[in-house]
């Protein structure tokens, strides 16, 4: 009798632990993300910045949810097509800001 109860507790604890790493998508599905948006941006920022025309990366709000923003110097379609729509489950939004110069 103790083993089934212990299994239930273990399964419940596992489900609760996993629920913190899930986000609801706009379409109602669930996407499991293993890393925070900060960690995902840190992991991908260098490769995004290496693309011609990319002048910055940031975390922003997109329709009330945190998203990754990729900032472009111009609206070159070739650059836009190289940027993924999602990174590890997080939405990626492209913004044309122009050239960014330090003050």
User: Structure pTM?
Assistant: 0.66
Nearest to 33 by CA among 15, 46, 20: 20
pLDDT given for residue 30 in this prediction: 56
Interacting residues of 92 by C-beta distance below 8 A, sequence separation 6+: 67, 68, 69, 70, 83, 84, 85, 86
For the 35-103 domain, the top CATH level (class) is alpha beta
- To the nearest 10°, the Cα dihedral for 15, 17, 19, 21? -140
pLDDT given for residue 76 in this prediction: 92
Tell me the three state secondary structure of residue 42.
Answer: helix
**Residues of the chain falling short of pLDDT 70:** 1-33
């Amino acid at each position: 009798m103790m083993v089934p109860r212990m299994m239930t507790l273990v399964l419940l604890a596992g489900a609760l632990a996993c629920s913190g790493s899930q986000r609801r998508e706009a379409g109602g599905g669930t996407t499991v993300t293993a890393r925070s948006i900060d960690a995902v941006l840190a992991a991908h920022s260098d490769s995004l910045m290496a693309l011609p025309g990319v002048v910055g990366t940031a975390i922003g709000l997109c329709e009330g949810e945190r998203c990754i923003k990729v900032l472009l110097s111009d609206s070159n379609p070739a650059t836009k097509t190289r940027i993924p729509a999602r990174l590890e489950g997080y939405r990626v939004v492209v913004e044309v800001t122009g050239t960014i110069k330090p003050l």
